[in-house]
Amino acid sequence: MKVLLISLLMLLAVSAHSATKVTCRSERTIQAGLSRLATDAELSFELEKKGNASVLTKIVGHIFIKGPYDDSVVFDTENTYMGFFKIDSLTANGDYGPRKYIGYAQFNDFDAAHTVGLEDGMFGYLAVDVTSNKKEFQAFYVFQAGDHMGGTALFNCRSF
């Protein structure tokens, strides 16, 4: 009986910290003075929730954000900041002391592997809610694209 109980406890401990597959999508980015920049973004990764020691692995996706003065409905290289992401692994910033995103882990160096469009480069950090036990939760990408664009992409995420 002891062996069965110990085995069950070990299994629960391992499963509590196992990685979960997550997909995050965004259609909206905010910027100082602007509340809605058209966005087409999807990120997929595996998340191991451990508070400020959380880990993201197998990160892939894209973030396309329209320029603030463009009214067209097409995301193309003429009017869009485009970042493509492929990151093997990121560990949360253990020193993150959030003022706004309380309950979130901060993943620094969340930088695009390749960019095209209005500016070169897209770099920043991803803040992910690691306290929620719900299948649906939020994440935020605080970024700078080139020299002229910065903002926060608002993501809705779902774990599987």
Q: Which secondary-structure segment (H or E) carries 12?
A: helix 2-16
Q: Domain range spanning residue 68?
A: 19-159
pLDDT reported for residue 79: 87
pLDDT reported for residue 3: 53
- Residue position matching structure tokens 């905010």: 30
Does residue 5 form part of some domain?
no
pLDDT reported for residue 1: 55
Say how many domains are in the chain.
1
Does residue 80 form part of some domain?
yes
Does residue 8 form part of some domain?
no
Does residue 150 form part of some domain?
yes
Does residue 2 form part of some domain?
no
CB count in 10 Å sphere of residue 57: 14
Give 10-residue mean pLDDT values along the chain (160 residues): 49 59 96 85 97 96 90 86 97 93 96 92 96 95 90 96
Does residue 33 form part of some domain?
yes
Tell me the pLDDT of the chain averaged across its residues: 88
CATH number for the domain spanning 55: value is 2.40.128
Does residue 9 form part of some domain?
no
Per DSSP, what are the bridge partners of residue 85?
61
Tens-place pLDDT, residues 22-63: 999 999 999 887 768 999 999 999 999 999 999 999 999 999
